[in-house]
């Protein structure tokens, strides 16, 4: 089965077409700056192979439908296309950030799903409108192709109330569904299964702390293959220190900023989501730039890195307490997979808790799933590359398999 994975934002569509018989990527790309003066489409056919071919188009792209038309033209292009006709696209999987507590599994898209996603916009105001635009266009352009929504929140729906409730007036939960949802669920789910496989254990018998460190970062306590706690909350703002998000911070900062700086709620939201984290501390949000600045003696960049490591260690410590027995700490995503310094800072001083890195294994420039802990470390430390598109395509195929619950 060929599955087209779509991650549609308010002004972008990222996509990947996968052949699920071999789990290979036929093509991938992104349409960006939709609705702006000049839009950009970057497309890769047969990525990572000898036949890889890149195409970049710069032109106005009025809306999501115009963007998807450009993508389709490339997918079935007579010379560089990867399938002969659109009939060869047999399913579509949509990445959805916020599924609230309405969705506790991936499901087939129908009018009811679209209605529920629309109702969830207050809980996912940044992402869900863009996802809905993608679903609308995909249903219009591929009316006969079954489509599935795969949610970032679903993996965390197994959290117990003691982990997902905020100690706010209970009515806020009843009226507005104010609670922790957690995000990056597709990634935590994928790497936890891959890590269990790497360890030669069944997921049901494996306890893990999965550490997704990218532009956005989150940690998850995984007990027997299920999420029992995670660091992101009602929105992706809470938890770890990220590229531009502050993570955990006292809510009383809001009224202070309102009173002293005259900032509106929207401005404070923008400040905490887009101007904080690494960027807020040292002016840079890309981890590679931070390392470069540290090497040049930049004290703020050093501080940002120290804060990042400290926050990560605090979360690892608390999830050790949540889980009791832990088989492995699993690093993933852009920073987690590529940055030995970040991994070392996240594990530093935790030897007494059974976490011992092997400095050489940590530094080895390998790719793929690997063990970077010292042989005698009671808790293994792994690096497992994430692959959210593959997980979405797998779940899409699973939901549509004959006999599966839709």
User: Is residue 286 at the binding interface for ligand ADP, with CB under 6 A as the rule?
Assistant: yes
User: Is residue 247 at the binding interface for ligand ADP, with CB under 6 A as the rule?
Assistant: no
367-388 burial, b at 16+ Cβ within 10 Å, e below that, comes to eebbbbbbeebebbbbbbbbbb
Provide, rounded to whole angstroms, the least separation between the CB of residue 279 and ligand ADP: 11
Q: Which residue out of 152, 229, 298, 339 is catalytically annotated?
A: 152
Residue 29 contacts residue 15 (beta carbons within 8 Å): yes
From candidates 13, 91, 333, 379, binder to ligand ADP by CB under 6 A: 333
Distance CA 148, CA 185 (A): 16
Two tokens at 170?
A: 């209970």
282 Cα distance to chain centroid: 24
From candidates 9, 182, 225, 334, binder to ligand ADP by CB under 6 A: 334
Q: Was 212 annotated as part of a binding site?
A: yes
Which C-beta is closer to ligand ADP: that of 339 or that of 391?
A: 339
From candidates 134, 216, 239, 277, binder to ligand ADP by CB under 6 A: 216
From candidates 288, 306, 351, 359, binder to ligand ADP by CB under 6 A: 288
Distance CA 14, CA 120 (A): 22
Which C-beta is closer to ligand ADP: that of 13 or that of 287?
A: 287
CA-nearest of 322, 173, 190 to 234 is: 173
Residue 261 contacts residue 327 (beta carbons within 8 Å): no
Stretch that binds ligand ADP, among 10-18, 141-149, 213-221, 351-359 (CB under 6 A): 213-221
Stretch that binds ligand ADP, among 83-91, 329-337, 374-382, 392-400 (CB under 6 A): 329-337
User: Is residue 104 at the binding interface for ligand ADP, with CB under 6 A as the rule?
Assistant: no
Number of residues that bind ligand ADP (CB under 6 A): 12
Active site residue 152: yes
User: Is residue 214 at the binding interface for ligand ADP, with CB under 6 A as the rule?
Assistant: yes
Which C-beta is closer to ligand ADP: that of 53 or that of 286?
A: 286
Q: Was 216 annotated as part of a binding site?
A: yes
Which C-beta is closer to ligand ADP: that of 2 or that of 387?
A: 387
User: Is residue 330 at the binding interface for ligand ADP, with CB under 6 A as the rule?
Assistant: no
User: Is residue 237 at the binding interface for ligand ADP, with CB under 6 A as the rule?
Assistant: no
CA-nearest of 240, 340, 236 to 288 is: 340
Rounded to the nearest 5 degrees, what angle is found at the Cα of 319, between the Cα atoms of 317 and 323? 125
Handedness of CA 360, 363, 369, 373 (dihedral sign): positive
User: Is residue 243 at the binding interface for ligand ADP, with CB under 6 A as the rule?
Assistant: yes
Return the residue matching tokens 């982990």.
163
Distance CA 193, CA 391 (A): 10
Two tokens at 29?
A: 């790309």
Query: Which residue is closest to ligand ADP by CB?
Result: 334
Bridge partners, 218 (sequence order): 212
Which helix (H) or strand (E) segment is 7 a member of?
strand 2-8
> Which residues sit in the known binding site for Mg(2+)?
7, 388
Name the residues annotated as catalytic: 152
Which residues are at the interface with ligand ADP (CB under 6 A)?
Answer: 214-216, 243, 286-288, 333-335, 338-339
């Amino acid at each position: 089965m060929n599955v087209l994975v779509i991650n549609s934002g308010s002004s972008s569509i990222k996509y990947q077409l996968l052949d699920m018989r071999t789990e290979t990527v036929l093509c991938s790309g992104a349409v960006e700056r939709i609705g702006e003066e000049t839009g950009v489409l970057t497309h890769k056919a047969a990525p990572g192979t000898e036949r890889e071919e890149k195409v970049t188009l710069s032109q106005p792209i009025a809306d999501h439908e115009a963007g998807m038309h450009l993508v389709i033209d490339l997918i079935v292009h007579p010379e560089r296309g990867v399938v002969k006709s659109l009939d060869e696209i047999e399913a579509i999987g949509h990445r959805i950030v916020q599924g609230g507590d309405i969705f506790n599994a991936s499901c087939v898209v129908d009018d009811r799903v679209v209605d529920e996603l629309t109702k969830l916009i207050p809980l996912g105001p940044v992402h869900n409108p863009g996802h809905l635009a993608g679903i609308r266009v995909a249903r219009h352009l591929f009316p006969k192709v079954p489509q599935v929504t795969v949610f970032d929140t679903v993996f965390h729906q197994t959290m117990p109330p003691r982990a997902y409730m905020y100690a706010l007036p209970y009515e806020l939960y009843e009226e507005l569904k104010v609670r922790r949802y957690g995000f990056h669920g597709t990634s935590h789910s994928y790497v936890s299964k891959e890590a269990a496989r790497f360890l030669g254990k069944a997921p049901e018998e494996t306890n893990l702390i999965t550490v997704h460190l990218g532009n956005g970062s989150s940690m998850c306590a995984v007990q027997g293959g299920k999420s029992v706690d995670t660091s992101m909350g009602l929105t992706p703002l809470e938890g770890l220190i990220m590229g531009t998000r502050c993570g955990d911070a006292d809510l009383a900062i809001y009224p202070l900023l309102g009173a002293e700086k005259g900032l509106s709620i929207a401005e404070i939201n923008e400040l905490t989501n887009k101007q904080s984290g690494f960027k807020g501390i040292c002016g840079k949000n890309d981890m590679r730039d931070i390392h470069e600045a540290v090497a040049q003696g930049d004290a703020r960049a050093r501080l940002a890195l120290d804060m990042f490591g400290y926050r990560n260690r605090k979360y690892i410590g608390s999830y050790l307490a949540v889980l009791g027995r832990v088989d492995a700490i699993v690093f993933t995503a852009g920073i987690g997979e590529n940055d030995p310094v970040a991994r070392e800072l996240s594990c530093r001083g935790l030897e007494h808790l059974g976490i011992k890195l092997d400095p050489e294994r940590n530094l080895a420039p390998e790719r793929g799933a690997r063990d970077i802990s010292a042989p005698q470390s009671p808790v293994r430390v792994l690096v497992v590359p994430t692959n959210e598109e593959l997980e979405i395509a797998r779940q899409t195929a699973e939901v549509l398999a004959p006999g599966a619950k839709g």
